[in-house]
Amino acid sequence: MENTAFQNNEATHRDQSVPGQNSIATEETEKPNGTQHGTVEAAFEIAIEAADNSDWTPEVNVKCGFMKGILSDLRRRIPHYWSDYKDGVGDRKSIQKTISCSFFLYFACILPCIAFGVLNSDNTRGVLTVEKVIYSQVFGGLVFAVFGGTPHIVLLTTAPLALYTNIIFSLSVEYELNFQAFFGCIGLFNCMFLVIFSILDLSKLMQFSRRSSEEVFALFISIAFSIDAFKNCAKSRLRYIYFLYFLWLKINENYYCDESLISMKNLTSQVNFSLASSDLSEPSRCAKEISLLYLLLLLGTVWLGVSLFTFKNTSYLNVTVRELMSDYSLPVAVIVMSFIGSFLFRKVEVLKSFQPTNDETFFTWVDLTRLPWGGVLAACGLGFCLSLLFFMDQNISAALVNAPHNRLKKGSAYHWDLFVIAAINVVLSMLCFPLVHAALPHSPLHVVALTDVEIKEENGHVYHCVVKVRETRITSIVSHTLIGLSLLILSILAYIPTPVLYGLFLYVAITSLFGNQIFERIQLFFTEKAAYPPRPYISIVPHKKLHMFTGLQLVQLAVLCIVGFTPYPYLKMFFPVFIFFLIPIRHKLIPKVIEQKYLNALDGL
């Protein structure tokens, strides 16, 4: 059966599938009266019987042309352009969803902007500031919301991009290159390769991808968010409790000894010194209460946000109130915990997340003539590696947005979206602003925030069946307009405590696990067989093969984690290559150990 994710006629996109996944059946099929019914098991049995009788494998059409993909994307999406606005305000429920989703996107985007802005500022010695990240977010988000083909895609500067920026800055310092020119040149080469990918229809190569590969990468992103949160929590304990951190500060020339008594376990003597500094971000005393409050605010943000997010699954109050509490879970959690941290405990000095700056050179074009030819050649190589990261992230995010269970009806625009991303980043590169691309898990969560679901229970297991998804551009336009207006109140946003920012990371990581099949199958390792949920693939695939497939996915995840979290920055440069290798591994290696008929059941939808 032919893959439908990149077909050119609109009819095939009525049930949009993820690139590389055949459309044997969807997990919920509709009865004539519109109710949901799980007939997928019968469809699986038919497909597996066909696979037994003939060596059936999904066919993949990878015939690439010149501009054909972009033109077909435009023909498919332009007729729906005005409906992309009307669908967000078509009825009272849609207006309610649009408003709540706009606030969700505002907080889900502005807080990572602040967090990654602080990280970029530290890594580049103040060249890329929080303000520049916000400017990038506003420009990229608004342009893509108006001109992009898939309105549910959310653009962000991400952790891999922050890492790449750090590597670029380190290379510029090591080889005495102008950082702005080097960064801008790498960004332009990246955009050049993205334009080539889009006009040559290379996004069709993603048809070789399968849901399992995409979910492995999505799970890696969730792990990365979690590690960032707990790593900064650990830094807080080192900063305010443990002696070794103070010892490190003592040998820094910015600090001097004074008279505070701090003891260290296993030392026979006590060392007397306290720390003073003009830098308010560093501790001036040993303060265990700050570390404790940091942990409480971080976990409190996660607990309150996730509790409100899952409140719709309870039987308390009425349906409308439950949905409202779930829709506004993120903004409520951030506001409540920020108030607790900044006002109720204002005598406990919790660090501000950043200090606003007044740099009048924000909108100065990069002078590329300051880069020697050797630097240009290096920028070309780094730009190609960066383009692979953009290519994979963009297409995987779009694939998860267009997954069959989301029931989107207007079709995809993989090639056009990639072209728009390239155009956006040309401007950002020339201004030496942080680059942006489609973000996980924000893009799939954007779909969830605009979805009406029907909750069903079968054999004690609760299922969420998608009834309707609003395909609208209004949410992205409104949220990024609010982010732009936030530039006027940066001094107020600075009062959002740092632990609340990282609590947001954990919230996003946890909520993105809902609906991730690999996470569901990992739980089966620790579940009694009699209590397995009544999923069709569980009743069809032998449990040994089922666990073997999950184990192979975990091996791939472990490799991504080793490369992504390695302390060697130059190895991290090749992280996009390892992401790309997920495709041939799934397409060529895994079928050698697991029969194709079982792969069709596990990974065929």
- Residues of the chain above pLDDT 70, percent: 76
pLDDT at residue 297, as a whole number: 87
pLDDT value at residue 282: 46
User: What's the pLDDT band for 316 if we cut at 50, 70, 90?
Assistant: confident
pLDDT at site 198 = 93
Question: Percentage helix, strand, coil, to 5, in the chain?
Answer: 65, 5, 30
Task: Please provide the size of the chain in residues.
Answer: 605
Three-class SS state of 155: strand
The pLDDT value recorded for residue 430 is: 94
**Taking residues 84-89, what's their average pLDDT?**
88
**C-alpha distance from residue 521 to each of 292, 445, 517 (Å):** 35, 21, 6
Mean pLDDT value of segment 36-52 = 40
The residue among 293, 198, 172 whose CA lies nearest residue 236 is: 293
Most confident stretch, 4-8, 130-134, 202-206, 289-293: 130-134
Average pLDDT (249-263) is: 41
Highest average pLDDT, of 104-108, 319-323, 380-384, 460-464, comes from 380-384
For a pLDDT cut of 90, what percent of the chain falls above it? 19
What Å distances lie between residue 506 and 123, 236, 259, 307, 350, CA to CA? 23, 17, 39, 13, 19
| pLDDT confidence of residue 428 | 95
Q: How many CB atoms neighbour CB 535 within 10 A?
A: 21
Of 45-54, 71-80, 86-95, 360-369, the range with the highest mean pLDDT is 71-80
CA distance 4 to 24: 11
Among 123, 161, 45, which Cα is nearest to 439's?
Answer: 161
pLDDT of residue 35: 37
For residue 588 the two structure tokens come to: 């060529």
What digits encode the pLDDT tens for the residues 536-570? 778 788 888 888 888 988 998 998 888 888 777 67
Residue 579 is predicted with a pLDDT of 82
In tens, the pLDDT along 227-249 reads: 877 877 777 666 655 544 454 45
Residue 276 structure tokens: 């003073």
Q: Where are the alpha helices (DSSP H) in 368-441?
A: 373-401, 414-430
- The reported pLDDT for the residue numbered 14 is 38
In this model, does residue 301 exceed pLDDT 60?
yes
Cα 174 from chain centroid (whole Å): 31
| CA 487 to each of CA 276, 412, 483: distance values in angstroms, whole numbers, following the listed order | 32, 33, 7
pLDDT tier for residue 19 given thresholds of 50, 70 and 90: very low
Residue 146 to residues 140, 277, 426, Cα–Cα distance (Å) = 10, 47, 17
Coil vs helix vs strand at 465: strand
Distances (CA, A) of 562 to 10, 159, 169, 571: 41, 15, 23, 10
Tokens of residue 168, six digits:
């670029």
**Short-list 362, 410, 326, CA closest to 151:** 410
DSSP 493-536: HTTSBHHHHHHHHHHHHHHTTTT-HHHHHHHHTTS-GGG----H
- DSSP 8-class letter at 605: -
The two tokens of residue 50 are: 């066909």
C-alpha–C-alpha distance, residues 431 and 420, integer Å: 17
User: Which of 20-34, 74-88, 429-443 shows the lowest mean pLDDT across its residues?
Assistant: 20-34
Give the mean pLDDT of 115-135: 84
User: Of 262-276, 338-352, 469-483, which range is least confident?
Assistant: 262-276
- Least Cα distance to 393 among 229, 183, 209 occurs for 209
Task: Report which of 553, 570, 595 is spatially closest to residue 385, judged by C-alpha positions.
Answer: 570
CA 9 to chain centre: 30
Contacts (Cβ under 8 Å, ≥6 apart) of 198: 69, 70, 415, 416, 418, 419, 422
Nearest by Cα to 430 from 197, 186, 196, 195: 186
CA atoms within 13 A on the CB side of 45: 6
* Res. 205: pLDDT tops 60: yes
pLDDT of residue 242: 54
Q: Would you state the pLDDT for residue 571? A: 78
Which pLDDT does position 102 carry in this prediction?
Answer: 92
* Residue type (1 letter), 126: G
C-alpha–C-alpha distance, residues 333 and 108, integer Å: 12
Q: Which pLDDT score is estimated for 347?
A: 54
Q: Report the pLDDT value the prediction gives residue 513, as an integer from 0 to 100.
A: 82
In 3-state terms, what secondary structure has residue 328? coil
21-30 pLDDT tens trace = 433 333 333 3
Residue 36 has pLDDT above 50, yes or no: no
pLDDT (tens digit per residue) in 141-165: 999 999 999 999 999 998 788 878 8
406 pLDDT more than 90: no
Nearest to 380 by CA among 199, 188, 202: 188
Half-sphere exposure of 374 (CA within 13 A, CB side): 6
Task: Give CA angle at 433 (474, 217), nearest 5°.
Answer: 65
CA distances from 83 to 155, 479, 493 (A): 22, 19, 35
In the prediction, which pLDDT does 335 show? 86
pLDDT: which is higher, 80 or 363: 80
Would you state the pLDDT for residue 1?
36
Distance CA 65, CA 68 (A): 6
